[in-house]
């Protein structure tokens, strides 16, 4: 049996089992409180919700040594255009944080310092440090490695070498002072590694809790009855197979097109990194935190609306044809993930 189909069937079985156990508990009179009108419809999937989702932590992994001076330096570097080839681009151009941006530029693909658009959509930097890896193909283990890759990428910042980065920053007395404060005790603190470490430290502060976190923490009224119905639909459809954890995704790499191929399949994903047949069309699972604000969708940015993204994912990954009202249900839940 196909492992993905088996996984989906297992999820559905667990839903039914949970409903049976809960129903038996309610019926046995063991000091049970009768379900209220606002909650009785949702007890069936409640256990699966608690098992598959966790509230966002107030700290990201690897942030225990991040000092205020290091974070302040990273914030300045994130908006610094001098670390691009022609001093025209900063991290913020593709991952907008100004004007209440959701960490993206809302373009299918982004233009780098040379004016050339990349081949993949720029993902959000919000909550990014919670993910299992960085970049769509997972080639960077963490935020530090991701920052290094962007600085010298010919389609992003396009600087020729690590030395180009540090020499530009060393010309600034302000930056020399900031690096000395952020990396005390180092004779020459303005290094390529330290640039990436500082940017990563700032990005580790970009944590955006939502109403869904309040719900997970026990505040039942944080999301509406219709949004809870959308959560039920999300669970029962099988979306939780991949979209789970603190960031509702971002915790694994999976094949795009398990049952039905993606229409635009020229990008073979992780296969370009590993050369392994099993990695063809494998991409990192997208986080769904703030997904209602980060259009367009998919690794190539070809899908312009969230409803179409939900429809295609259910069809390609789960072999399910969702009706329009079912898609609307899921999107209502996704709105609870907005910061």
Query: What's the token pair of residue 59?
Result: 């700290």
Provide CB contacts within 8 A for 1, sequence distance 6+. Answer: none
- By the 10 Å C-beta count (0-12 exposed, 13-18 middle, 19+ buried), 321 is classed as exposed
Burial of 183 (0-12, 13-18, 19+ CB in 10 A): buried
284: enclosing H helix or E strand = strand 282-284
In the chain the first and final C-alpha atoms are separated, in Å, by 40
DSSP character at residue 223: S
Which residue in this structure is represented by tokens 């699972």? 285
Residues in contact with 42: Cβ distance below 8 Å, sequence separation at least 6, in sequence order:
228, 229, 231, 232
Q: Enumerate the active-site residues.
A: 156
Contact 137, 269 (CB under 8 A): yes
The set of residues, in sequence order, having a beta carbon less than 8 Å from that of 232 and lying 6+ positions away, is 41, 42, 44, 45, 329
Say how far apart CA 285 and CA 317 lie, in whole Å. 12
How far, in Å, CA of 338 to CA of 289, rounded? Answer: 6
DSSP 106: -
Helix (H) or strand (E) holding 162: helix 162-170
Residue 6 has which token pair? 């088996």
Q: Which DSSP helix (H) or strand (E) runs through 283?
A: strand 282-284
Q: How far apart are CA 80 and CA 78, in angstroms?
A: 6
Q: Exposure of 214 by Cβ count < 10 A (0-12 exposed, 13-18 middle, 19+ buried)?
A: middle
């Amino acid at each position: 049996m196909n492992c993905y189909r088996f996984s989906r069937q297992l999820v559905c079985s667990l839903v039914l089992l949970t409903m049976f156990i809960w129903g038996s508990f309610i019926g046995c009179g063991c000091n049970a409180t009768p379900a209220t009108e606002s909650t009785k419809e949702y007890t069936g999937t409640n256990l699966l919700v608690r098992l598959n989702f966790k509230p966002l932590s107030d700290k990201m992994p690897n942030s225990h040594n991040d000092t205020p001076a290091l974070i302040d330096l990273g914030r300045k570097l994130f908006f610094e255009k001098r670390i691009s080839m022609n001093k025209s681009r900063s991290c913020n151009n593709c991952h907008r944080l100004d004007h209440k941006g959701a960490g993206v530029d809302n373009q299918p693909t982004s233009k780098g310092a040379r004016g050339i658009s990349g081949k993949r959509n720029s993902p959000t930097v919000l909550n990014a440090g919670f993910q299992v890896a960085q970049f769509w193909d997972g080639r960077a283990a963490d935020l530090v490695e991701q920052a290094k890759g962007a600085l010298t990428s010919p389609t992003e910042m396009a600087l020729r070498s690590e030395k180009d980065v540090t020499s530009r920053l060393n010309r600034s007395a302000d930056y020399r002072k900031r690096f000395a404060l952020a990396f005390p005790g180092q004779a020459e603190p303005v290094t390529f590694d330290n640039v990436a470490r500082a940017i990563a430290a700032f990005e580790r502060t970009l944590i955006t809790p939502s109403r869904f976190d309040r719900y997970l923490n026990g505040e039942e009224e944080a999301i509406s009855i219709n949004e809870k119905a959308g959560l039920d639909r999300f669970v029962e459809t099988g979306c939780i197979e991949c979209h789970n954890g603190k960031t509702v995704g971002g915790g694994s790499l999976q094949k795009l097109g398990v049952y039905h191929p993606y229409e635009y399949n020229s990008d073979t994903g992780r296969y370009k990194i590993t050369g392994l047949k099993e990695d063809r069309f494998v991409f990192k699972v997208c986080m769904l935190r703030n997904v209602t604000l980060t259009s367009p969708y998919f690794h190539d940015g070809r899908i312009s609306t969230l409803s179409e993204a939900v429809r295609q994912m259910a069809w390609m990954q789960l072999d399910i044809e969702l009706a329009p009202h079912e898609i609307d249900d899921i999107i209502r839940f996704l709105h609870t993930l907005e910061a």
